[in-house]
């Protein structure tokens, strides 16, 4: 899909569908904005009639198609509800763009124009970015495995964003291009998460990361089993030992610093270093502590944290973010077999800490322990953020509408919360207290991999904190937000790619520890 930005009156657009976002209206006192008078005349008063009759109320996600004079340039106008004026933000614009694309596909309109509404909140550039994001995200489909379709969906070839009397068209076009990058990067994460497990074992996930890195000019290293053994990554190896598909550790670098001198392992950089760590369990059966059969097919999404890291690194590269950004992915498949790790086993992690296994379905924190240790010791970053579909307990606590945020650093937590608000990928701060850390202390080992049902999402985060030491760190539990079974304005069923826009917003605003 091509996204364009123009400055012209809506009535002058020669497109198959013109989308007109409107705020929630009150029939008694609603008046058509003067700037839309030419369009209203072209439609013969149909906009005013739709509002006066109550047929269109402007609720968020609401749409109404109006037909104009066949001789006019604009023959079909789609009224799109933005919701209450008090709640208008970038997320409302993403939803409006998503509703527009859905309506255009249903009506087989390939060329669409979308009028940017005059808002008091988001700036024109923020509007252009959000509208472009929403359009790209809404056009996403994962249908590569379908061999036949009786009624194939229509493709929207182009969307023109109309900004009347734009003062800086170049800035608006740049902002829209950023929105396209963010949307496409999130769609890449969606693709990876939606892939069936037989098509995306750990090795294939590593290859997909390498392919993205080559395309975007990033560095990428993949550690195989012998290298993992050399580094003592007993957590990642232990979880993966039950599968015929061996585990991998993937490291992607944006703005990797040059060596200080030839033959030296030390590095030289003036850019701050931040690490993004992703859980990459390409399929989670639960292992010996096997999951119930119902909905187990959704466990192909258990690598959504890793997918978000791949998408975020792509965005960092294409947006030329002036940071040294490192993505670390712990990829494994958790299956039961004669070689699988067992409840009661003790694993030695790369940090040297030992973990008593009480439940093999609490495997994500085990592989992350090695990845977090690697990020901390290899790069000594200013901050580490990990993403993981870690616990069902977080879904119980926050539902499907919000990710859990855990952190040992107030500044990092507040910046991530701000990025979540900007990106529309909501988070909610959760505590990690000493009592939660006490709950995961082991009896025959240093730690145990579950603290029980009570506070399960928090004790899982407490476990991860044992591998961080004093580096500012945040953990995002995306178990409830990584995939959905009910579509939204710009979100089809399946993987969401959650975390890509949030991480990109955080990286774009990053100003170092101070």
Question: Does 190 qualify as catalytic in the annotation?
Answer: no
pLDDT tens-digit series, residues 46-59: 988 898 888 999 99
Q: Alpha-carbon distance 384 to 76, whole Å? A: 49
Mean pLDDT of all residues in 296-302: 98
Residue 471 near residue 381, CB atoms below 8 Å: yes
Q: Is the model's pLDDT at 163 over the cut of 60?
A: yes
Q: Collapsing DSSP states into helix, strand and coil, what is residue 474? A: strand
Going by C-alpha positions, the residue among 117, 124, 128, 115 that lies closest to residue 175 is 128
Q: What does R_g of the chain's alpha carbons equal in angstroms? A: 25
| The pLDDT value given to residue 259 | 67
Average pLDDT over all residues of the chain: 93
pLDDT at 303: 98
Q: Is 90 exposed, middle or buried (0-12, 13-18, 19+ CB in 10 A)?
A: buried
Q: Is 43 a member of any domain?
A: yes
Mean of pLDDT values over 80-94: 89
Which strand ranges, in their side-by-side order, compose the sheet holding 403-407?
Answer: 219-223, 248-254, 324-334, 273-284, 383-388, 473-477, 403-407, 427-429
Query: Are 40 and 142 part of one and the same domain?
Result: yes
CA distance 483 to 187: 13
Placement of tokens 């013969």 in the chain: 44
Question: Under the phi-then-psi rule, with left for phi > 0, alpha for psi from -120 to 50, and beta for the rest, what region is 396?
Answer: alpha
Q: Which of 138, 164, 190 delimits the end of a domain?
A: 164
Which DSSP helix (H) or strand (E) runs through 130? helix 124-138
| CA separation for the pair 366, 358 (Å, rounded) | 12
Question: Catalytic: 291?
Answer: yes
Cα–Cα distance measured from residue 365 to residue 429, given in angstroms and rounded to the nearest whole number = 19
Over range 162-190, report the average pLDDT: 94
Residue 95's alpha-carbon distances to 16, 121, 316, in angstroms, are 21, 16, 24
In whole angstroms, what is the distance from residue 218 CA to residue 208 CA?
Answer: 13
- Is position 6 within any domain? yes
pLDDT digits (tens, 9 = 90+) for 24-49: 877 666 777 777 888 888 888 898 88
pLDDT of residue 27: 65
Residue-level pLDDT at 278: 98
CA-nearest of 137, 101, 123, 126 to 176 is 126
pLDDT tens readout for residues 225-278: 999 999 999 999 999 999 999 999 999 999 998 864 444 444 555 799 999 999
Specify whether 285 is located in the same domain as 410.
yes
What value does the mean pLDDT take over residues 462-482? Answer: 97
In a domain, 289, yes or no: yes
**Same structural domain, 453 and 331:** yes
* Reduced 3-state DSSP string for 310-334: HHHHHHHHHCCCCCEEEEEEEEEEE
Helices (H), 5-123: 37-42, 46-52, 90-106
Give domain status of residue 171, yes or no: no
Select from 113, 136, 164 the last residue of a domain: 164
Tokens encoding 37: 């008078």
The tens digit of pLDDT for each residue in 181-222 reads 999 999 999 999 999 999 999 999 999 999 999 999 999 999
Examine the domain organization and report whether 369 and 312 are in the same domain: yes
Is 341 in contact with 357 (CB distance < 8 Å)? yes
Domain harbouring 43, CATH code: 3.40.220.10
Phi/psi-derived region of residue 391, left when phi > 0, alpha when psi is between -120 and 50, beta in every other case: beta
Whether 170 is covered by a domain: the verdict is no
CA distance 241 to 280: 15
Which residue in 75, 95, 365, 415 is the catalytic one? 365
Q: Which of 105, 132, 164 is the last residue of a domain?
A: 164
Q: Please give the residue that has the higher pLDDT: either 154 or 402.
A: 402
Considering 46, 141, 271, 291, which one is annotated as catalytic? 291
The answer to whether 26 and 52 have CB atoms below 8 angstroms apart is no
Contacts of 506 (CB under 8 A, 6+ apart): 385, 415, 416, 419
- Would you say residue 172 lies in a domain? no
Q: Which of 94-108, 120-134, 147-161, 490-504 has the weakest average pLDDT? A: 147-161
Residue 135 shares a structural domain with residue 279: no
Instruction: Let me know if residue 513 belongs to a domain.
Output: no
Residue 149, pLDDT above cutoff 60: yes
Whether residue 122 is predicted with pLDDT greater than 90 in this model: the reply is no
* φ, ψ of residue 356 in degrees (nearest 5): -85, 125
Q: Give yes or no: residues 377 and 493 share one domain.
A: yes
Q: How many structural domains are present in the chain?
A: 2
Q: Is residue 169 part of a domain?
A: no
Asked if residue 192 and residue 112 are part of one domain, the reply reads no
Q: Give Cα 110 distance to the centre of its chain.
A: 27
pLDDT at 261: 42
Q: What is the CATH number of the domain that holds 383?
A: 3.40.630.10
The rounded percent of the chain whose pLDDT value lies above 70 is 96
Are 34 and 154 members of one domain?
yes
Same-domain pairing of 126 and 194: no
Q: Which residue has the tokens 């961080």?
A: 468
pLDDT value for 264 = 44
Contact between 282 and 303 under an 8 Å Cβ cutoff? The reply is yes
pLDDT at 408 exceeding the cut of 60: yes
Distance, in Å, from the CA atom of 26 to the CA atom of 264, rounded to the nearest integer, reads: 70
pTM attached to this predicted model:
0.95
**pLDDT band, very low/low/confident/very high, at 514 (cuts 50, 70, 90):** very low
**Average pLDDT score over residue span 409-428:** 97
User: Is the domain of 345 the same as that of 244?
Assistant: yes
Estimate the crossing angle of helix 456-465 against helix 364-379, to 10 degrees.
Answer: 30
Q: Give residue 275's domain range.
A: 182-508
Domain co-membership, 149 together with 286: no
Task: Indicate whether 158 and 200 sit together in one domain.
Answer: no
User: What is the DSSP track for 162-194?
Assistant: E-TT-S-HHHHHHHHHHHHHHHHHHHHHHHHHH
Tokens representing residue 417 in the block: 């919360």
């Amino acid at each position: 899909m091509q996204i364009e930005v123009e400055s012209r009156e809506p009535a002058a657009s020669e497109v198959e569908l013109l989308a007109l976002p409107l705020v929630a209206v009150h029939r008694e006192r609603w008046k058509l904005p003067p700037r839309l008078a030419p369009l209203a005349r072209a439609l013969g008063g149909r906009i005013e009639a739709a509002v006066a009759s109550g047929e269109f109320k402007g609720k968020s996600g609401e749409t109404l198609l109006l037909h104009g004079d066949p001789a006019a340039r604009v023959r079909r106008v789609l009224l799109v509800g933005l919701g209450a004026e008090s709640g208008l933000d970038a997320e409302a614009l993403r939803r409006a763009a998503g509703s527009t694309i859905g309506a255009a596909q249903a009506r087989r309109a390939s060329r669409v124009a979308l009028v940017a509404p005059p808002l008091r909140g988001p700036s024109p550039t923020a509007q252009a970015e959000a509208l472009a994001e929403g359009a790209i995200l809404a056009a996403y489909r994962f249908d590569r495995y379908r061999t036949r379709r009786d009624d194939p969906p229509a493709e929207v070839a182009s969307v023109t964003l109309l900004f009347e009397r734009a003062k800086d068209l170049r800035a608006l076009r740049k902002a829209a291009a950023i929105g396209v990058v963010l949307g496409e990067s999130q769609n890449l994460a969606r693709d990876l998460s939606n892939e069936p497990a037989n098509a995306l074992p750990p090795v294939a996930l590593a290859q997909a990361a390498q392919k993205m890195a080559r395309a975007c000019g990033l560095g990428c290293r993949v550690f195989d089993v012998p290298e993992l053994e050399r580094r003592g990554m007993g957590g990642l190896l232990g979880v993966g030992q039950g599968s015929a598909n061996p585990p991998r550790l993937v490291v992607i670098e944006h703005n990797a610093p040059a060596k200080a001198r030839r033959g030296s392992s030390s590095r030289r950089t003036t850019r701050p270093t931040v690490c993004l760590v992703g859980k990459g369990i390409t399929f989670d059966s639960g292992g010996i502590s096997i999951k119930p059969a119902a909905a187990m097919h959704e466990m192909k999404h258990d690598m959504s944290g890793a997918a978000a890291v791949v998408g975020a690194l792509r965005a960092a590269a294409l947006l030329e973010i002036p940071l040294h950004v490192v993505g670390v992915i712990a990829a494994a498949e958790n299956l039961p077999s004669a070689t699988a790790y067992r409840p009661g086993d003790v694993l030695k992690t790369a940090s040297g800490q030992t973990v008593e296994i009480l439940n093999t379905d609490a495997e994500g924190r085990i592989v992350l322990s090695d990845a977090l240790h690697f990020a901390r010791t290899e790069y000594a970053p200013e901050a580490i953020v990990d993403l993981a579909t870690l616990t069902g307990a977080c879904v119980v606590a926050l539902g499907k509408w919000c990710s859990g945020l855990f952190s040992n650093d107030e500044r990092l937590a507040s910046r991530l919360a701000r990025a979540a608000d900007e990106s529309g990928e909501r988070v909610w701060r959760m505590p990690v207290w000493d009592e939660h850390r006490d709950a995961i202390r082991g009896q025959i080992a240093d730690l145990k991999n579950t603290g029980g049902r009570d506070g399960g999402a928090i004790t899982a985060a407490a476990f991860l904190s044992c591998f961080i030491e004093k580096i500012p760190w945040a953990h995002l539990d995306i178990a409830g937000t990584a995939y959905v079974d009910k579509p939204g304005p710009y979100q089809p069923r399946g993987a969401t790619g959650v975390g890509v826009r949030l991480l990109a917003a955080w990286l774009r605003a990053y100003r170092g520890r101070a």
